[in-house]
């Protein structure tokens, strides 16, 4: 219906009624199942909250509209879910698990650094990644004036040409995984996010989605 601030003004303007009585007091509580709320005489319902897990493929963006005309992740969803937003982002060339929701509080609790939600990535890197590099990542490295840090890391495989590395992060800074390797003059060839909190990408195929169940939603929130 409106943002919180705009909603408050709508109430103060006397445009909201509950069970036929005009309400002007901010913070008035209603029972969504039994009370009838109207704005300007029109009934207002409760928006059903939606929680979606999507396997974002390479070659699409996490914006609703892209100035370059590139495909967006929202084109992969049913049209009736047009009002959801991504919880964080994955860049155009990255793939993997991303959540979408119309629950702003849920999104905030999963993205704000103070909650420290862990995210796990698998990166395929050009060149050899060493244990010493991972140690630097966990202690923190500087890149373009910003400190980047991984919570944990392990080398899945490595040789002089290619390395596969698993990293866990919590802050979600822009392109953080790629920039960690850039700080070591290494380029990431493929980047996949495989886990957020306790929710894994598992067998979800690129471009496919599923809804999170109530247990998973509670697990994500309780993990904070």
Q: How far is CA 45 from CA 31, 35, 48, 54, in A?
A: 12, 10, 9, 27
CA atoms within 13 A on the CB side of 65: 1
Strands 187-196 and 95-101: parallel
Identified catalytic residue from 35, 66, 91, 103: 91
Question: In this structure, are residues 137 and 202 in contact, taking their beta carbons and an 8 Å threshold?
Answer: no
Describe the crossing of helices 214-222 and 104-111 by its angle, rounded to 10 degrees.
Answer: 40
Question: In this structure, are residues 137 and 150 in contact, taking their beta carbons and an 8 Å threshold?
Answer: yes
Is 91 marked active-site?
Answer: yes
Q: Which residues are catalytic?
A: 91
């Amino acid at each position: 219906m409106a943002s919180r601030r705009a909603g408050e003004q709508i109430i103060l303007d006397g445009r909201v009624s509950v069970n036929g009585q005009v309400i002007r007091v901010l913070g008035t509580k209603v029972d969504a199942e039994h009370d009838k709320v109207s704005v300007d005489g029109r009934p207002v319902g409760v928006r059903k909250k939606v929680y979606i897990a999507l396997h974002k493929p390479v070659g699409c963006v996490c914006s609703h509209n892209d100035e370059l005309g590139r495909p967006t992740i929202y084109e992969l969803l049913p049209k009736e879910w047009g009002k959801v937003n991504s919880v964080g982002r994955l860049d155009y060339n990255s793939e993997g698990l991303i959540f979408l929701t119309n629950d702003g509080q849920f999104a905030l609790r999963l993205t704000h650094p103070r909650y420290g939600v862990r995210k796990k990535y698998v990166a395929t890197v050009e060149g050899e990644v060493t244990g010493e590099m991972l140690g630097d990542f966990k202690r923190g490295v500087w890149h373009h004036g910003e400190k980047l840090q991984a919570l944990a890391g392990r080398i899945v495989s490595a040789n002089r040409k290619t390395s596969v590395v698993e990293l866990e992060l919590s802050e979600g800074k822009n392109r953080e995984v790629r920039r960690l390797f850039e700080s070591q003059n290494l380029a990431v060839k493929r980047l996949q996010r495989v886990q957020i909190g306790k929710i894994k990408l598992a067998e979800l195929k690129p471009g496919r989605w599923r809804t999170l169940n109530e247990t998973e939603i509670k697990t994500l929130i309780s993990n904070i």
